[in-house]
Amino acid sequence: MNTGSLDLKSVGPRIRMMMPLLTPLEAKVVDTVFGLRDFNEETTLKEIAGEAGVSEAMVVKITKKLGFAGFREFRNAVALYNQLPTSEMHQELSPDDTSEEIIQKVFHTSIHALQETLAILDVAAFDRAADLIHRARQRDFYGVGGSAQIARDVAHKFLRIGIRSAVYDDANMMLMSASLLGGDDVVVAFSHSGNTTAVIEAVQLARKNGARSIVLTNYDTSPLAQIADVVLCSTAQGSPLMGENAAARIAQLNIMDAVFVAVAQRNYRAAEQNLQRTMSAVNSKRKDRMP
């Protein structure tokens, strides 16, 4: 990893995205580094190894596994990342927080997730996702739990401009959908962890039948990301109370809002006409209901 040309805001997110590839002990070492308030460019390899209770050789091995040339490059990148103004935004929630502190911390966590997601967003992948959705005959969205809520929000936006899509949040329904898709169709799958078995199995079946797949996840090394044609990554720093999911959902909604605009832009006149038609139908119905 060349830290000279690296966007420093992407350092934390890129390390977090690699965490699923680490063993529990290796992940503990990384957590130890990010938990050190005084970690800087002078922190020695010996200090980190001692704090984490592992050998110096293991620390070096972990830094290389994360994509760095060695400990020195890893240390310098993380130290510079920690100095960014946005790094102070993420603060753990405490049972003793006042209402004002809760509001500040929750909002700052979301802002932090948006800024870091923007730093790692792959523009080429973004454009390809917009093209696939625009050209598709059928667009099926898969997600479970909170991810399904994102899928519904996106499908609602697309319908407003005449881009029809279907949302499936049940394992059997996803498989039924995937079995009917073909080469002209696209699946958009949402999974924060990228480990949701029901979503993975449905995407695998859809791809087997020739459909293209777009995945939104927090981890580009996850099993779901590995089988996708296009991967769009969000990132969020977790907390014991809120976890990563809450802020990551906001980041994923923003990614898909941008994709929505890009798809509309590909045939702006049609999108504008369809928006007028759908909004006219809704407004007309509202007037009928008025006393």
Q: What is the DSSP string of the chain?
A: --TTSS-GGGHHHHHHHHGGGS-HHHHHHHHHHHH-TT--TT--HHHHHHHHTS-HHHHHHHHHHTT-SSHHHHHHHHHHHHTSGGGGT-----TT--HHHHHHHHHHHHHHHHHHHHHH--HHHHHHHHHHHHH-S-EEEE--THHHHHHHHHHHHHHHTT---EEE-SHHHHHHHHHH--TT-EEEEE-SSS--HHHHHHHHHHHHTT-EEEEEES-TTSHHHHT-SEEEE------TTTTTHHHHHHHHHHHHHHHHHHHHHHTHHHHHHHHHHHHHHHHHHHHHH--
Prediction pTM value: 0.81
pLDDT of residue 285: 65
- Beta strand pairing status for 186-190 and 139-142? parallel
Q: What is the mean pLDDT of residues 76-101?
A: 76
Q: Residue 34: which pLDDT band, with cuts at 50, 70 and 90? A: confident
- Tokens standing for residue 192: 């924060």
Query: What are 161-194's pLDDT values in tens digits?
Result: 999 999 999 999 999 999 999 999 999 999 988 9
pLDDT of residue 112: 84
Over pLDDT 90: what percentage of the chain? 62
Identify any residues that bridge with 97 across adjacent strands, giving them in sequence order: none
* pLDDT at 246 exceeding the cut of 80: no
- Beta strand pairing status for 139-142 and 212-217? unpaired
Q: Residue 92: which pLDDT band, with cuts at 50, 70 and 90? A: low
pLDDT of residue 238: 58
